[in-house]
Amino acid sequence: MKKTFKYLMTLTLCVAAVVMSGCKEEAPYVCEGAGGDTYVKFGGTGTTDTRLLVTTDGYIGETYAVSVTYDMYTNADEWQIVPDYSECYDPEYEWIESWPSHGNYDGRFTLNFQANSRQGDTRYAKVNIVSHGKIIQTIDIEQDKAPNTQFYIQPFLQVQSFTKSGIYADGDNAGKTIVKTIPIDSNVAWSARIDDDENGDPVEWIKVSGITKAKFDISVEPNTGAEPRQGTITVYQNTNGNNNIVVTVKQAGDEVAAE
Protein backbone atom coordinates (compact mmCIF):
# COMPACT_ATOMS: atom_id res chain seq x y z
CA MET A 1 0.00 0.00 0.00
CA LYS A 2 2.84 2.42 0.87
CA LYS A 3 4.58 1.65 -2.45
CA THR A 4 1.30 2.24 -4.35
CA PHE A 5 0.76 5.58 -2.57
CA LYS A 6 4.36 6.66 -3.31
CA TYR A 7 3.91 5.76 -7.00
CA LEU A 8 0.66 7.73 -7.26
CA MET A 9 2.25 10.78 -5.63
CA THR A 10 5.17 10.67 -8.06
CA LEU A 11 2.86 10.30 -11.04
CA THR A 12 0.72 13.22 -9.84
CA LEU A 13 3.77 15.49 -9.52
CA CYS A 14 4.96 14.61 -13.05
CA VAL A 15 1.53 15.35 -14.55
CA ALA A 16 1.40 18.66 -12.67
CA ALA A 17 4.82 19.62 -14.01
CA VAL A 18 3.68 18.92 -17.58
CA VAL A 19 0.52 21.03 -17.16
CA MET A 20 2.32 23.95 -15.49
CA SER A 21 5.10 24.09 -18.10
CA GLY A 22 2.62 24.19 -20.98
CA CYS A 23 4.12 21.05 -22.57
CA LYS A 24 1.90 19.08 -24.88
CA GLU A 25 1.92 15.31 -24.90
CA GLU A 26 2.05 15.12 -28.71
CA ALA A 27 4.87 17.69 -29.06
CA PRO A 28 8.31 16.27 -29.91
CA TYR A 29 9.99 18.41 -27.24
CA VAL A 30 8.21 17.28 -24.10
CA CYS A 31 8.73 19.36 -20.97
CA GLU A 32 11.35 21.76 -22.33
CA GLY A 33 11.08 24.81 -20.14
CA ALA A 34 9.64 23.09 -17.11
CA GLY A 35 10.17 25.33 -14.13
CA GLY A 36 8.87 28.50 -15.79
CA ASP A 37 11.40 29.15 -18.59
CA THR A 38 9.89 30.09 -21.94
CA TYR A 39 11.22 27.95 -24.78
CA VAL A 40 10.99 27.90 -28.58
CA LYS A 41 11.95 24.93 -30.74
CA PHE A 42 11.68 24.49 -34.51
CA GLY A 43 10.98 21.03 -35.93
CA GLY A 44 8.36 18.94 -37.63
CA THR A 45 8.19 19.32 -41.42
CA GLY A 46 9.34 22.96 -41.38
CA THR A 47 12.87 24.32 -41.49
CA THR A 48 14.96 24.62 -38.34
CA ASP A 49 17.41 27.19 -39.75
CA THR A 50 17.95 30.31 -37.66
CA ARG A 51 20.03 32.01 -40.38
CA LEU A 52 18.60 32.49 -43.86
CA LEU A 53 20.40 33.58 -47.02
CA VAL A 54 18.07 35.34 -49.44
CA THR A 55 18.77 36.22 -53.09
CA THR A 56 18.30 39.69 -54.54
CA ASP A 57 15.01 38.49 -56.05
CA GLY A 58 13.70 37.32 -52.68
CA TYR A 59 14.29 33.58 -53.00
CA ILE A 60 15.62 31.54 -50.09
CA GLY A 61 19.09 30.01 -50.40
CA GLU A 62 19.97 27.06 -52.59
CA THR A 63 16.39 25.73 -52.57
CA TYR A 64 15.29 28.84 -54.47
CA ALA A 65 11.97 28.74 -52.63
CA VAL A 66 9.66 31.74 -52.60
CA SER A 67 8.91 31.31 -48.88
CA VAL A 68 10.03 29.40 -45.82
CA THR A 69 7.81 27.78 -43.18
CA TYR A 70 8.58 27.08 -39.52
CA ASP A 71 6.81 24.57 -37.27
CA MET A 72 7.24 26.11 -33.83
CA TYR A 73 6.87 24.33 -30.50
CA THR A 74 6.64 26.70 -27.56
CA ASN A 75 5.09 27.14 -24.15
CA ALA A 76 4.60 30.87 -24.76
CA ASP A 77 0.93 31.67 -24.19
CA GLU A 78 1.19 34.47 -26.74
CA TRP A 79 3.82 35.37 -29.35
CA GLN A 80 4.40 37.79 -32.20
CA ILE A 81 6.66 37.81 -35.25
CA VAL A 82 8.50 41.16 -35.23
CA PRO A 83 11.04 42.00 -37.97
CA ASP A 84 13.95 44.24 -36.94
CA TYR A 85 15.37 46.40 -39.77
CA SER A 86 17.71 48.51 -37.63
CA GLU A 87 20.82 47.26 -39.49
CA CYS A 88 19.42 48.25 -42.89
CA TYR A 89 20.42 51.39 -44.79
CA ASP A 90 16.74 52.37 -44.82
CA PRO A 91 15.42 50.96 -41.52
CA GLU A 92 11.93 52.37 -42.04
CA TYR A 93 11.34 50.28 -45.16
CA GLU A 94 9.66 46.92 -44.45
CA TRP A 95 10.59 44.01 -46.73
CA ILE A 96 9.80 40.87 -44.69
CA GLU A 97 6.27 39.47 -44.49
CA SER A 98 5.07 36.88 -41.98
CA TRP A 99 1.84 34.92 -41.84
CA PRO A 100 0.44 34.59 -39.33
CA SER A 101 2.17 37.36 -37.42
CA HIS A 102 1.00 36.21 -33.96
CA GLY A 103 -0.35 33.20 -32.13
CA ASN A 104 -0.58 31.16 -28.93
CA TYR A 105 1.52 28.14 -27.91
CA ASP A 106 2.56 25.75 -30.72
CA GLY A 107 2.03 27.05 -34.23
CA ARG A 108 3.26 27.42 -37.78
CA PHE A 109 4.31 30.60 -39.59
CA THR A 110 5.66 31.44 -43.04
CA LEU A 111 8.16 34.14 -44.06
CA ASN A 112 8.34 35.87 -47.44
CA PHE A 113 10.98 38.36 -48.60
CA GLN A 114 10.59 41.19 -51.09
CA ALA A 115 13.13 41.65 -53.87
CA ASN A 116 15.98 44.01 -52.98
CA SER A 117 15.84 46.96 -55.36
CA ARG A 118 16.58 49.60 -52.72
CA GLN A 119 19.91 48.81 -51.04
CA GLY A 120 23.20 48.62 -52.92
CA ASP A 121 24.87 46.75 -50.08
CA THR A 122 23.97 43.34 -48.69
CA ARG A 123 21.17 44.01 -46.25
CA TYR A 124 20.67 42.39 -42.88
CA ALA A 125 17.63 42.03 -40.66
CA LYS A 126 16.33 39.92 -37.80
CA VAL A 127 13.00 38.21 -37.36
CA ASN A 128 12.32 38.17 -33.63
CA ILE A 129 9.76 35.98 -31.92
CA VAL A 130 8.54 38.09 -29.03
CA SER A 131 6.43 37.09 -26.03
CA HIS A 132 5.28 39.64 -23.46
CA GLY A 133 7.86 42.13 -24.71
CA LYS A 134 10.78 39.67 -24.50
CA ILE A 135 12.65 38.17 -27.47
CA ILE A 136 12.52 34.38 -27.10
CA GLN A 137 14.01 33.41 -30.49
CA THR A 138 15.72 35.18 -33.41
CA ILE A 139 16.13 34.31 -37.08
CA ASP A 140 18.96 36.19 -38.84
CA ILE A 141 18.34 37.29 -42.42
CA GLU A 142 20.97 38.20 -45.03
CA GLN A 143 19.83 39.36 -48.47
CA ASP A 144 21.99 40.04 -51.54
CA LYS A 145 22.39 43.65 -52.64
CA ALA A 146 20.39 45.40 -55.32
CA PRO A 147 21.78 45.02 -58.85
CA ASN A 148 22.53 48.75 -59.18
CA THR A 149 24.55 50.87 -56.75
CA GLN A 150 23.61 54.54 -56.49
CA PHE A 151 26.27 56.90 -55.15
CA TYR A 152 26.29 60.36 -56.70
CA ILE A 153 26.95 64.02 -55.92
CA GLN A 154 26.18 66.50 -58.67
CA PRO A 155 29.42 67.88 -60.19
CA PHE A 156 28.60 71.55 -59.51
CA LEU A 157 28.42 70.71 -55.78
CA GLN A 158 31.88 69.12 -55.70
CA VAL A 159 33.61 72.49 -55.23
CA GLN A 160 32.49 74.72 -52.34
CA SER A 161 33.85 78.23 -51.68
CA PHE A 162 33.67 80.19 -48.42
CA THR A 163 34.49 83.74 -47.35
CA LYS A 164 37.45 84.53 -45.09
CA SER A 165 35.20 84.92 -42.05
CA GLY A 166 33.04 81.87 -42.77
CA ILE A 167 29.96 83.81 -41.65
CA TYR A 168 27.23 85.75 -43.42
CA ALA A 169 28.03 89.47 -43.58
CA ASP A 170 24.49 90.74 -44.20
CA GLY A 171 20.92 89.71 -44.83
CA ASP A 172 18.64 87.72 -42.57
CA ASN A 173 21.52 85.38 -41.62
CA ALA A 174 24.02 88.14 -40.82
CA GLY A 175 26.50 86.98 -38.16
CA LYS A 176 25.59 83.32 -38.55
CA THR A 177 27.96 80.58 -39.71
CA ILE A 178 27.74 79.77 -43.41
CA VAL A 179 26.55 76.18 -43.77
CA LYS A 180 26.40 74.49 -47.15
CA THR A 181 24.38 71.32 -47.63
CA ILE A 182 25.61 68.62 -50.02
CA PRO A 183 22.84 66.25 -51.15
CA ILE A 184 23.82 62.66 -51.98
CA ASP A 185 21.81 60.30 -54.17
CA SER A 186 22.73 56.95 -52.63
CA ASN A 187 21.37 53.51 -51.79
CA VAL A 188 24.47 52.46 -49.81
CA ALA A 189 25.91 53.35 -46.42
CA TRP A 190 28.64 55.99 -46.73
CA SER A 191 30.98 58.14 -44.64
CA ALA A 192 32.65 61.53 -45.09
CA ARG A 193 36.32 62.01 -44.24
CA ILE A 194 38.22 65.33 -44.00
CA ASP A 195 41.53 64.62 -45.70
CA ASP A 196 44.93 65.63 -44.31
CA ASP A 197 46.82 68.44 -46.02
CA GLU A 198 49.78 67.99 -48.36
CA ASN A 199 52.09 67.69 -45.35
CA GLY A 200 50.02 64.91 -43.81
CA ASP A 201 48.67 67.14 -41.03
CA PRO A 202 45.01 67.14 -40.00
CA VAL A 203 42.84 69.88 -41.50
CA GLU A 204 40.93 71.28 -38.55
CA TRP A 205 39.28 74.34 -40.12
CA ILE A 206 36.78 72.34 -42.18
CA LYS A 207 33.75 71.05 -40.29
CA VAL A 208 31.38 68.29 -41.43
CA SER A 209 28.03 67.95 -39.65
CA GLY A 210 24.35 67.17 -40.16
CA ILE A 211 25.05 63.78 -41.71
CA THR A 212 22.01 61.75 -42.77
CA LYS A 213 21.73 59.00 -45.36
CA ALA A 214 20.95 61.64 -48.03
CA LYS A 215 23.18 64.66 -47.22
CA PHE A 216 25.87 66.30 -45.13
CA ASP A 217 26.72 69.90 -44.21
CA ILE A 218 29.99 71.82 -44.56
CA SER A 219 31.12 74.88 -42.61
CA VAL A 220 34.54 76.47 -41.96
CA GLU A 221 36.28 78.36 -39.18
CA PRO A 222 37.48 81.93 -39.83
CA ASN A 223 40.72 82.17 -41.81
CA THR A 224 43.07 84.24 -39.65
CA GLY A 225 45.83 84.17 -42.27
CA ALA A 226 46.30 86.36 -45.31
CA GLU A 227 46.52 83.51 -47.82
CA PRO A 228 43.55 81.56 -49.20
CA ARG A 229 43.44 77.90 -48.23
CA GLN A 230 42.01 74.71 -49.63
CA GLY A 231 41.13 71.25 -48.37
CA THR A 232 39.20 68.19 -49.48
CA ILE A 233 36.46 65.94 -48.12
CA THR A 234 36.31 62.37 -49.40
CA VAL A 235 32.85 60.81 -49.37
CA TYR A 236 33.09 57.04 -49.74
CA GLN A 237 30.96 53.90 -49.72
CA ASN A 238 31.54 52.06 -46.44
CA THR A 239 31.84 48.65 -48.07
CA ASN A 240 33.88 49.84 -51.06
CA GLY A 241 36.31 52.64 -50.32
CA ASN A 242 37.28 52.85 -53.99
CA ASN A 243 33.78 54.12 -54.75
CA ASN A 244 34.28 57.68 -53.58
CA ILE A 245 33.70 61.33 -54.47
CA VAL A 246 36.00 64.21 -53.52
CA VAL A 247 34.50 67.57 -52.53
CA THR A 248 36.98 70.47 -52.64
CA VAL A 249 36.57 73.21 -50.03
CA LYS A 250 38.09 76.64 -50.74
CA GLN A 251 38.31 79.58 -48.33
CA ALA A 252 39.44 83.11 -49.11
CA GLY A 253 42.27 84.92 -47.39
CA ASP A 254 42.41 88.69 -47.65
CA GLU A 255 40.69 88.53 -51.00
CA VAL A 256 37.02 87.56 -51.43
CA ALA A 257 36.49 83.88 -52.19
CA ALA A 258 35.46 83.06 -55.73
CA GLU A 259 31.81 82.25 -56.22
> The domain at 151-251 falls in which architecture?
Sandwich (2.60)
pLDDT at 258: 43
Residue 106 has pLDDT above 50, yes or no: yes
Q: Distance between CA 137 and CA 72 in Å, rounded?
A: 10
Q: Distance between CA 145 and CA 128 in Å, rounded?
A: 22
Cβ burial 140-169 (10 Å sphere, 16+ → b, else e): ebebbbbeebebebeeeeeebbbbbbbbee
The SS3 assignment for 123 reads strand
| pLDDT tens per residue across span 220-257 | 999 999 999 999 999 999 999 999 999 999 999 986 54
Residue 81 has pLDDT above 90, yes or no: yes
Assigned fold of 24-143: Immunoglobulin-like (2.60.40)
Residue 2 has pLDDT above 80, yes or no: no
Residue 4 has pLDDT above 70, yes or no: no
Mean pLDDT on 154-170: 95
Mean pLDDT on 125-151: 96
CATH 2.60.40.10 residue spans of the chain: 24-143, 151-251
Comparison of pLDDT for 3 and 48, the residue scoring more: 48
Tell me phi and psi for residue 99, to 5 degrees.
-145, 125
Which pLDDT band, with edges at 50, 70 and 90, does 36 fall under? low
- Average model confidence (pLDDT) across the chain: 86
pLDDT at 133: 94
